[in-house]
Structure 1
């Protein structure tokens, strides 16, 4: 079967891309399938301009640059990359081959499958405030061009790492940044929270946005309510950036036969699912003390791939040769 792959990776985000590179190190015929029009996963979808700081050896990098680098790295061993194809069905055939079917009916065949699909599909939780429909064009859930906010007053709503990162990323470019959080203690990393309080970002804890106001469809004012004393304040505003989390949907993956949990697919320390030959890594993989950060996923991908290699060939080495000394690089 000419279209039979050793490994098919479902998901072309950072973890899927790096896993494809590592698969090449292990000389496996590899395919990546992603539902979106291009690779990059949640980074490309939500924050291509955001600065990412939690990957070892990379002090700071814009999301789109990280995706570009990972894409180039993934192509080292020339895997097949197929975008715009959402997988809806997965079956294990009697001979052990996996049949993977997209919503268009296209069929893919693979000896093993690694699921690196993030948290499935994403839908941003909307801003629930009076006037949000009127000023929809000034409400953003991601930023693909940070220059459009030059010299504007931007209100960021949210209390997690993403909201904190965006507030600090915007700070050098905009006139003012206000960060609105309905709670008291931010959910971000401690050092990032400290940096936030030391910055020029105006921080409003125990507040939430209740209304947007303006002239016709031009936003001018953001109304915030204090949950402690009940007072209402008005802030000048040109744009609102909402970081209220996302609704995730595993979709048809819940019906593929392996064990799942509230947070994704259950795996063991080898990144094995409960179906032999299917592995998972990245945000979608769930196990005790899971960390959902890119760096963790970049570690889990090679584990999943090594497990797939040993599933195909139990006599194979448990890990690949160190990439620096891999014989393939002598030819590149």
Structure 2
């Protein structure tokens, strides 16, 4: 073992999926010893190929760890993993005392604060540290981490988080990271729908995609949904629209995050008509079979639900939505808005 590996904390990593796998691989590449666990054989095999030492159970993966990272689908999965389920020992019981837990899943604020309380009750430390940046950011090590918890724990976790992320922000106390995440993704969901609606309107008015992009990307309409994840092919070559909407960030995950935002809106009494409506739109898309596509594929639903204006030819040189989308995914698969 090298001197560098001896001085770095030992890491346990639970959840080797589309996000967790690349994150763990970046930690291995930076010299960390990472012991991981994932119940899905394909995910475990990919992680092992990247140098992660795979364990047979989650408890085994965290038994010798100084820092434990979890990246799981829902709050229920997180709480079950921490506390155990039936005869399966939980991560908190299996870890040595005073282990630092970094909970990187996107879950509700209530579940995040519950998880933090469980960590403290069992003699551990913890941070909620959800991420933004999608699979591309996970692979490139450029994720944004939104972190909630004690300042001293944030300072201890920072070197590990900086390997996986390009920006790490301490947002406040326990739950603050999850609060920042759902607020950010509510902005993102609403803005992607707005950008997509504008492109469909531009098509009907005779604007080329490139012309609208060149104007809006340098004007007051500029936003991440336009300049990085543009919902039409061409203007941003790296956007999912150029690869048949294979996801960087799946529509089903956007629906999940907007559902968490809606729960927070209900609990706080905040009026947010656009945020709630965006959640309904993405939930409908997911329930209609489009959840596996990138969330920018919502533009296809908008086109499918658009009606041709009255006078013939009023759609201009771009043609009608129905003419342009011939051969694309039918409305019953794209979902309804």
TM-score bracket relative to the smaller structure: under 0.3
Higher relative strand content: 1
Q: Which TM-score applies when normalising by structure 2?
A: 0.26
Higher relative helix content: 2
Does 1 or 2 have the higher relative contact order (CA < 8 Å, sep 6+)?
1
Q: Which TM-score applies when normalising by structure 1?
A: 0.26
